[in-house]
Amino acid sequence: MDKNDIKNTNLVRKSITHTKALLSTRKIRQLKVSDLISALNLSRSKFFRFFGNMNIILELVISEELERSYELIARTLLAGPDNPHLIAELNLLRAIYFRKNSILYNYYNGIFSLPKRYATLIQAVTTKEQQLYMSILSKQKNHMAADHSRIKLLPLFQDKTINQ
């Protein structure tokens, strides 16, 4: 790794840390690019040149939180013998862990009110979560042969349709 790679890696880590801090006190919808560039001490042009748009940094943050939550869920579920009620328990733990995580809770609680510009973020997070969910199912022997392609993860905490 050269100096530039290290500098870029540090910028990404710093960006994730500061974005998490901002999201712990604000909803995604309330977060502005100006908040991020101020917290990161970046120029607006450097922020957009590096990240492209705010969805990228939000995707990194939410994906990291999803991975951490699913790691905890997997440790809980996969510690014992094969579980015949794996999907039900997985869904229950998903709701519990996401409620405990302020970033995930705010994301899923506000997903239906996000404007169209967040469509790529929603799609990326949905894909990431589906992969994590299926990874847990594939680790249980009695679920490996089952066809889980029709499982659709529903957003938690609300009962509305996503803004189009």
pLDDT tens per residue across span 31-68: 999 999 998 888 999 999 889 999 999 999 999 999 99
Percentage of residues of the chain with pLDDT beyond 70:
85
Listed residue (10, 6, 11) closest to 50, CA to CA: 11
The C-alpha atoms of residue 77 and residue 132 are separated, in whole angstroms, by 13
* pLDDT band of 148, cuts 50, 70, 90: low
Number of H helices, E strands in the chain: 8, 0
Domain definitions of the chain by residue range:
3-139
CATH number for the domain whose boundaries are 3-139? 1.10.357.10
Nearest to 22 by CA among 39, 5, 1: 39
How much helix, strand and coil, in percent to the nearest 5, is found in the chain?
Answer: 75, 0, 25
* Segment holding 22, helix H or strand E: helix 3-23
Q: Which long-range contacts (CB under 8 A, 24 or more apart) does 97-101 make?
A: 97/69, 97/72, 97/73, 98/69, 98/156, 99/157, 101/65, 101/68, 101/69
